[in-house]
Amino acid sequence: MNNTTIGETNDSIKKCPVMHGGMTATGSTVMDWWPEALNLDILHQHDTKTNPMGEEFNYREEVKKLDFKALKADLIAFMTDSQSWWPADWGHYGGLMIRMSWHAAGSYRIADGRGGASTGNQRFAPLNSWPDNANLDKARRLLWPIKRKYGNRLSWADLFVLAGTVAYESMGLKTYGFAFGREDIWHPEKDVYWGAEKEWLAPSDERYENVDEAESMENPLAAVQMGLIYVNPEGVNGKPDPLKTAAHVRETFARMAMNDEETVALAAGGHTVGKCHGNGSAEALGPEPEAAGIEEQGLGWMNHDSRSVGRDTVTSGIEGAWTTHPTKWDNGYFHLLLNYEWELTTSPAGAEQWQPIGIKEEDMPVDVEDPSKRTMPVMTDADMAMKMDPQYREISERFYRDHEYFSDVFARAWFKLTHRDLGPKVRYIGPEVPEESLIWQDPIPAGTTDYDVDALKSKIANAGLSVGEMVATAWDSARTFRGSDLRGGANGARIRLAPQKDWHGNEPERLNKVLNVLTPLAQDAGASLADTIVLAGNVGIERAIAAAGFDVPVTFSPGRGDATDDMTDAESFKPLEPLADGYRNYLQKTYAVKPEEMMLDKTQLLGLTAKEMTVLVGGMRMLGTNFAGTQHGVFTNNVGALTTDFFVTVTDMALSWKPVSDNLYSVRSRDTGQEVFTATRFDLVFGSNSVLRAYAELYAQDDNREKFVKDFVAAWVKVMEADRFDLTC
């Protein structure tokens, strides 16, 4: 194989007499034959085996030791330290760094809280190779000397966001603040659904019921095409039409938790600095980083046929700056957008873009390398939407008239964009953390810890609530937690507030009954209702443990607070509503996605493993927590006792499983044909999936009854304390 070229490698491998022992490439896996099988790997990513830092390393403690002042000074100096291998436009890297920060944070979407900048995921596939992230690999390489210098005290995730924030400051913007605390992952994320398309930039139609109805985009997606952060800058499906683009911009930014004013501010503020690059042939670019040859050393989009840097760079294919002074924070964007008429043209790379008619020479930006030359400014179709859409136009004019107001709105929107997935304010670290509490941070007042927990437990135990009522209410309060953006959870007791109190899956009538019992008990004890709800769940579980013949305490940590309506953005909590909850055997309606897949997705968001999912589902069936009191999956005659009966039944070969409807099965005796139990797909998957059955068999063993109880308690406490950042920060 000595003379084999890169392009011939795959064919040559087939011909060479070489032993290939391991599955060393991602093109095939042992599960390729069964594409519908549950991907349990999403529950077991980012474990200790992939993390080189070891279990003793605590980034949150290390970053507190960082010399914040020195780091910031280094970043400011870096902005104008142009490197010949990738020179800075106008001698300033600000535009490139801002684009990197923006695209790291801008992948966030509210539907499932995934994406965003908090993990440093832009280092890995697919984000490192998205077409919309072209040449951001150069931005990360330029930052390597700074990362190397500050080492373990500075995560890539923090650096990505900080670099863009400092870039804005270096160009004149008064930023709102910055918080450290983002911890790096070490391999590509396996849980994020980016769309079903198999080709980059496939037509938008593939993720819409009707591409002309922006709101019909498939959930949880926010970007309009595979490989884009937001919208196609050339127009819907690459066809310029600012009003159609405006509708897509509005929907996309709404799915990122941004309103119209924030959207215009971000669009304008992002394009106040920097430029697009399309001065050359896109055909000359090599493959993206994940597909590039080994000699490229992790870089992609390399052009070895031309100069390919500076004014000759090709990235998006659009060419030009949006403002007269692209390294200065000013109101130049609105000046050009609103004061000139614009016409369609094409870039040297063939991209659709808009240029001003009859522009004055003094309004033209200078060349990125030669200040004696003037160049034509540019607007994308998304920029033209800021002018042509009536609502966006009104906001744009207001910003144009009041630059100070625009700057403040942008600074706040930028902070929101880059911190949305960092979690509550208690997780923020560093000297520039704003003192102001913002409603999108889901603020929760500090709770008390000095009340008599045992006395409150005793009163709860004698309050007349059933095991199922107590456990289900505690679960419903905590299950909203999402490890993706660290929202939701039991802390705050928002289950008693709109919209959660009225969610169908929370059984409002049952919920109201339990809250009416627990609220006065909490008040009398001087405890928060949030604490009392969780404590009641623990009381129910301890009662069930005793009924099973064991004595295993359930750990409880007081200190949760009670949020108020004024602290709660009700609209933003709607995406947290459970459409399905396999743990309580709840399915709001029939969906295209299988029930067990929805359970798996929720399990990943809760931060649970497959083992923890197994013990929680099997245990909660025994506790009588099913939605509306159904008996599906309640494989026991001893409801209220934390036994292993669920697993014994699931693995019992004396039983057969017969479909009744889409999500209902009859469990029958093989000998008599008589129905013994009923079940759903949420239940059957623990007997059908080979991995989950292995766990079910483990807990069905006679010698693992106590192990099951202990494992259930550990998993339960993990869920109840998932949002207790006050205990770890």
Q: Which residues are catalytic?
A: 103
By C-alpha distance, which of 604, 599, 570, 575 is closest to 587? 599
Cis ω on the peptide bond leading into residue 508 (within 30° of 0)?
no
**Single-letter amino acid, residue 716:** W
Cα four-point dihedral sign 577, 583, 589, 594: positive
Q: In residues, how long is the chain?
A: 729
Rounded Cα distance between 481 and 643, Å, is: 27
Cα four-point dihedral sign 225, 231, 232, 236: positive
Rounded Cα distance between 130 and 457, Å, is: 53
Chain centre to alpha carbon of residue 416: 14
| Assigned token pair, 232 | 């196609």
* Alpha-carbon Rg for the chain in angstroms: 28
Rounded Cα distance between 51 and 119, Å, is: 13
| Assigned token pair, 646 | 């669920």
Q: How far is CA 99 from CA 38, 156, 164, 348, 435, in A?
A: 36, 15, 7, 22, 27
Residue 342, strand partner residues: 356
Chain centre to alpha carbon of residue 403: 33
Cα four-point dihedral sign 624, 626, 631, 634: negative
Residue 208, strand partner residues: 217
- DSSP assignments along 52-94, one per residue: TT-TT--HHHHHTTS-HHHHHHHHHHHHT--BTTBPPGGG--H
Specify whether the CB–CB gap between 256 and 117 falls below 8 A. Answer: no
Q: How far is CA 15 from CA 24, 27, 28, 279, in A?
A: 18, 18, 19, 42
